[in-house]
Each structure stands twice: as structure tokens, then as C-alpha cells.
Amino acid sequence: MKWYQQKEKAAGEKRLLFSWHVYKIFGKKALQLIAVVVSLCTFVFSKQLRTYTKKNLSIIFEYTKNKNAKPSLINMYKNVLNYALSLVDKMETCARTFDIKKLNFAEKTDKDELLKQMNDKKGIFFICSHIGNIEVLRTFISNPENYIWPMNPHANIFLSKSQCKIFNNFLSKISAKVDFSTYPVEDIDMSTAVEIQEKLKHGDIVFIAGDRVSAGSSAITFKTDFLNRRAEFPSGTFKLAQLTQEPVYFIAALKDKKDTYKIYVKKFEQNNSLTKKQNLSKMQDEYVKFLEEITIIAPLQFYHFYDMFD
């Protein structure tokens, strides 16, 4: 069963609004407590969740030999709990109260390079994933101390259609300042590519996940070895990145010690001696390798609660 075939169990608009009011009135700790209770109940009563969590952790453990990925009941629950707590951090980023000091780059040179790109008003195409919590990077992008310009870059985020609708409605109801645009991944076509290319030329930033096949493009995929198993990935993400002709970075934000996050970045370097098709294949291969590397670092932040592997 693919992720888009599952009934939505994540935060709908009403759940988001409820979480928002809890956060505003009682603070982050209260919301974290609710997340603990909800994740435990979901874990106990959802056989499907336990089945896929166990399968995925078994594959990760077999590949990494990391004891933290051993598919025990406690590690399975920790995986689900980590996801629930990451949603709390996402709420904090929506409220613009996430502390920038909690974000650290694994390599300072990566931070310096991204800051230079943004201050030079050069577009950046980020290919992210559902490992860790990429939402916290919005705090880094929106931090005015990073820029010599009065306005921070505009972000463009690709989500599923339902996520776009829920998220946009939620933001409008809480009167949050919106400094990004959302696009449904199911509707990507040549006009989308042209629009995104134009935005990147003006210094915008793009975020799109490269590890989930969308319902609208389930036939436009490629299969490859991932964690020593066959897995399916969306070709459209990488074709869009290639069409824009702007710098492409693979990026992940992994929860670290003491409630902080560590940001991992890898820039894709195009080989001019290769054909366009060969460079596309090179980008896909390097992205999958990047996913394997961050999975080894944080196996319990692997937030794919469905049958990802053949």
C-alpha cells in the first residue's frame, strides 16, 4: 500500500487549529504531552502502523546494524513518538517562536555557502525528504540577521493537494504572516517548471521532497536500491530540478541532542561531460545515497509509515 492510498491520519485543519490553541494558551510542553498520549493511542490501536513501522525498521537495522533501529516495540513506538513531537516543532515554526539557536549545520561551510547564495539573491532548489523535520529550516530562512537585504527570500513549497488546502486554510485562520507559496505536486507540468524557473531567477527558494511518489504521477517513477532493497522514487522531482538550471541541494534537518536540530546538506554537482539523461540519473543516485547516509544517523526519524519497499 502506497502512502497516498492510506486514509489520512495526520493533522487535518481542525486538529491543527486545536493544536494551535493549546500551544498559544498552554505552551509547548502541554502540546508535547498531548503528542505523547495521541501517538501512544495511535500506536496501540493501529495494526497497520505497527506493521509498516516494524518492516521499515527491520530493513534499516539490517542495513545499518544500528541497535537504535532494532525493530523492538519500544523503538517502534519511539519512531512514532518522534514524528508526533516533530509536529509540535512544526507548530512552533508556524508561530515564529522556534529558537534559531537550536539550528546547527553539520558543516559550517554549507551554512556559509547557502547564506552567500541567498544574499546574492540567487535561487536555490532544495530536494528534501520525510526523514527528520525540514520545516524547522524555515526559521533559518526567515531569520533577518542572515541578510543584508530588508526582505528574506520567498519560499515555494510542493505538497500534496490536500496538504496545500489544509495548510493554507490553517494559516489564513490564525492570521499568520505568509512568506511562502504552496504548489500541489500532483499538478506539476511545464507551466509549473517555467514559473518556478522564473522565481528562482529572482532569488526564490524551492522545497520539494524526492522520496514519495505522488498520486498524480505514480507512473513517472524510477526504481533503485535503497537500504539494500528495491524502492520507488518520483522522477518528476529530479526532472523539475534539472529543468530550472539552478543550484540543487539535498537537505535534511535531523533532531539532535537537547532539543536542537542538525542540518545536513549536499550540493549536486553536474558533470558537463555527461548527457542530460546521464546527469539526471547521477542526481537520482546521489540523492538516494544521501538518504541512506541520514537514515544511518537518525533511523528513528524515518517517517515513512507505509510500505515503501518492494
For residue range 219-274, what is the model confidence (pLDDT) as tens digits? 588 999 999 999 999 999 999 999 988 999 999 999 998 889 999 999 999 999 99
Domain that holds residue 91: 3-301
Residue 4 has what pLDDT?
A: 42
CATH of the domain at 125: 3.40.1130
pLDDT score, position 219: 58
The confidence score (pLDDT) of residue 248 equals 96
Q: CA–CA separation, 242 vs 238, rounded Å?
A: 6
> What 8-state DSSP symbol labels residue 194?
H
Q: Please count the helices (runs of H) and the strands (runs of E) in the chain.
A: 10, 9
Distance, in Å, from the CA atom of 266 to the CA atom of 126, rounded to the nearest integer, reads: 10
Tell me which residues of the chain have a pLDDT lower than 70.
Answer: 1-11, 149-151, 175-178, 215-219
Residue 265 resides in a domain: yes
The pTM assigned to this predicted structure is: 0.91
Query: Dmax over Cα atoms in the chain, in whole Å?
Result: 58
Domain-embedded: residue 90: yes
Q: How many residues does the chain have?
A: 310
53 within some domain: yes
Do 226 and 288 touch, CB atoms closer than 8 A?
yes
User: By the 8 A CB rule, do 134 and 257 touch?
Assistant: no
Let me know the angle formed at the C-alpha of 62 by 58 and 64, rounded to the nearest 5 degrees. 115
In a domain, 32, yes or no: yes
Cα dihedral value 118, 141, 157, 302, nearest 10: 120
Q: Is the separation of the CB atoms in 45 and 39 below 8 Å?
A: no
Q: Is residue 76 part of a domain?
A: yes
Chain centroid, CA 293 distance in Å: 15
State how many domains the chain has.
1
Structural domain includes residue 36? yes
| Res 115: pLDDT | 92
Q: What is the pLDDT of residue 8?
A: 44
What's the order of all strands across the beta sheet hosting 261-267? Answer: 103-105, 261-267, 248-255, 124-128, 205-209, 155-159, 180-184
In a domain, 26, yes or no: yes
Residue 309 lies in a domain: no
Rg from Cα positions in the chain: 19
DSSP secondary structure letter of residue 211 = S
CA distance 224 to 193: 25
